[in-house]
Each structure stands twice: as C-alpha cells, then as structure tokens.
Amino acid sequence: MGLLDKLFGKKEDSMTDDEKELREYEENVYRAESGVTEGCHAEFIITGASLTANGKTLLEGSVTEGTFRTGDEVRIVLRSGQEVRSAITAISVSLRPCDTATEGQNAELWIDFLNTKLIKRNDIVKKIIPEEAAEKVQG
C-alpha cells in the first residue's frame, strides 16, 4: 500500500487529477531520487538537533518511511548535498526509551557525535542497508 492509499484511501478511478499526479510522483519520481528501496529502507525528517552532555547528538523529528533500530548505521543527507555517516546509539518515542521507531512516529534518535551546526531542519536521515554498506567496503 502506497502513501497515497494511506492518505486518500481511494481507488484510482475515483481520484481527482491532482491525486493521480501525486501518486505518479510518489511512485516514479520520489523513490528514484531518494534512493529508496522497497522493504529495507527507512527515512527520518529532522526537525531539530542538539548536542547532549554525553557527547552524542540528539536528532528530533519524524519517521516517514520504514523502521529504525538501535545500532542501525545511518547517513544524514544535508541540504548542502553532503552526506554524513553515523550510527544510532539510542532511540526514544514520546520521551520513553525504546529499541525501534517506526513510520508515522515522532522520535528522538541519538547518534555518535556530529557537528550540530551542519544539521538543519528538514535534513533527512536514511538507514544504510546491508548491501549498501558491503558495496562501500568492497568499492
């Protein structure tokens, strides 16, 4: 089930032209540009970042796709085009520590130290899938 099915809950024959255009974008353009792979990806939109007392960076935001787990390797895609790699050391949802954050949840991700001045609102955190990590090592 795609994002539009969740948002609109309509069959294609009863959709407006705008809804069809949004579906077309989601299915063909967005996934190609973002590097999203079905079934093994996760994305998190950052709304805020701060440095914590223990030398970790706290990222606040929303999980828009997939599931993040403690220990996942991630890359932060900055608006400048840079990508920074890190790992999730802890997660909390509704100020409660947990092991996972899933699609639709507002969450806090603690990552290894990173310069918080680089991170801006709407930067994206993407989970590094195992195949991608293996390619990086071999390449």
pLDDT for position 98:
93
The enclosing H or E element of 7 equals helix 3-8
Per cent of the chain over pLDDT 90 is 37
Q: Which CATH number describes the domain made up of 43-138?
A: 2.40.30.10
pLDDT of residue 25: 60
Q: What is the pLDDT averaged over residues 15-32?
A: 64
Express each pLDDT in 6-18 by its tens digit: 555 545 566 787 7
In angstroms, the Cα distances linking 12 to 20, 28, 38 are 7, 16, 21
Bridge partner list, 65: 43
Q: How far apart are CA 20 and CA 41, in angstroms?
A: 24
User: Which of 11-15, 37-41, 84-88 is the most confident on average?
Assistant: 84-88
Does 46 score more than 60 pLDDT?
yes
For 36, phi and psi rounded to 5 degrees?
A: -75, 135
Q: Rounded CA gap, 51 and 57, in Å?
A: 5
Whole-number Cα distances in Å, 93 to 11, 17, 22, 37, 61:
33, 37, 30, 25, 10
Residues of the chain with CATH 2.40.30.10: 43-138
